[in-house]
Amino acid sequence: MKNFLKIVFGNAQTCNIYITSFEGNEPAILIRNQYGFAFARPSNGILTFSAGQEFFLVCTSDGTYRPKTCNPAEVIKILPCRKANSVSAVKKEIHCCGPIDENHPRGVGSLYHIGIQVPTQKDQFAILYYSCQNNETHSVYFAQEFINQGRLNGVMLSGKTFAWDKFGYGKISVPLESNNKITYGSDNNPTGQLRRFKEIFNEDLNKAKRYINFEPKKSELYLAKGHLCPHANQPFDTWRKATYFYLNHVPQWQKINNGAWSAVEGYVRSLTTYRNLIITTGGYDQLIIENHATSMVNLNNVTIPKYVWKIIQNNHNP
């Protein structure tokens, strides 16, 4: 197995990893902080460690955990993982949000941590982002991530995608009084969506195609899995893979997902050049089909939000 990365030193005080030199299955690179383990965060395409600072190379698929110490007088060679890192979600016993009433005095939302389990380190979990999910409908209220200043500078946005992890997944629904089940279909093929909308409109195909139409000239008129923490915000494959949880999505019209909403995400990324940001994204309300009764009567169904929102907080002390 070849060495695929080396740490080079620019001065006597630091060790630098240039992340553009990654090839193959990169290890997750962690540090310790007051809370346990955390992901080392690059700035301007470089991971920087102080002389004497300890960091850790983690391959979850191999079950390996290798501590390293920054010594600017040495070149440290790093081997790739045999397989790509796996990512996971952990449900916390914390009620994070949702309607509060006499039946749900603490709300109906549960908080999830998404990241990696650190091999050989009992109960140690490195977090990439948070998600809050409705325990009853499985709809996601919001997801939240921190992006440090310069994290995406000098990083080539990867077009690589991953299979969606259905952890925490319910059924996709349109909130109507009749049977509200609707599925994405494989690879975003919206055949099942068109069938469901035909049922809604009493088998009127023309009306259904006002909402779901995957003919070539209208290929964006269907419901896609809309990321809350975007794939393109992540500098490493392990981080990108972690965004493909159903805990990190809302059903969203592809025309919006690939259009105006994509422009919003790009603008937010531009803000990270000189700022530390906490970004929270979620859905609100339920989709209403014009001139149709709307009441969510079935449980265990993910609702299609009427609105998608994003809050950007400038954080000077991450």
Catalytic residues: 227
Taking the C-alpha atoms of residue 150 and residue 225, their distance in angstroms, rounded to an integer, is 28
Task: List, in order, residues 6 or more apart from 218 with CB less than 8 Å away.
Answer: none
Buried/exposed code over 64-85 (b: 16+ C-beta within 10 A; e: otherwise): ebeebebebeeebebbbbeebb
In the block, residue with structure tokens 């809370």: 35
**Strands in 27-76 per DSSP E:** 28-33, 36-39, 46-50, 54-59, 64-69
Element of type H or E holding 227: strand 223-227
Q: Is 257 annotated as a binding residue?
A: yes
How many Cβ atoms from other residues are within 10 Å of residue 27's Cβ? Answer: 25
- Write the secondary structure of 166-185 as one string of H (helix), E (strand) and C (coil): CCCCCEEECCCCCCCEECCC
Q: Which residue has the tokens 């995957």?
A: 214
From CA 289, how far away is CA 178, in angstroms rounded? 13
Q: 3 near 58, Cβ under 8 Å?
A: no
Residue numbers belonging to the annotated binding site for Mg(2+): 257
Residue numbers belonging to the annotated binding site: 257
